[in-house]
Amino acid sequence: MSNLKTLTVVASLALLTAACGDTWQQRSVTGAGIGAGTGAAAGALLPGVSPLGGAVIGGLVGAGVGAATTPGTTR
């Protein structure tokens, strides 16, 4: 039950700070940081996934999502 509580807190913090930044560079960096932190926490909680592996995957995904969701970009 403690793992679920930790994951809930980390996910909540990630969602609260998910919209930081105005430019695609700022959003990429904040997305990478949020993704890496969330991925590391998930990696620590999930069997078979290391915190480092989770941080790398989360950081890459977070940077991509942050850059792709910048307001005012053309698609």
pTM exceeds 0.75, yes or no: no
The pLDDT of residue 8 is: 75
Whether 10 maps to a domain, the answer reads: no
* pLDDT reading at 9 higher than 70: yes
Confidence of residue 1 (pLDDT cuts 50, 70, 90): low
For 35, the domain range is: 28-68
- Whether 45 contacts 7, CB under 8 Å: yes
The pLDDT of residue 22 is: 79
The pLDDT of residue 26 is: 87
Whether 21 maps to a domain, the answer reads: no
Whether 63 maps to a domain, the answer reads: yes
Structure tokens at 32: 């990478």
Whether 43 maps to a domain, the answer reads: yes
**Three-class DSSP category at 38:** helix
Whether 41 maps to a domain, the answer reads: yes
Crossing angle (nearest 10°) for helices 51-68 and 24-45: 150
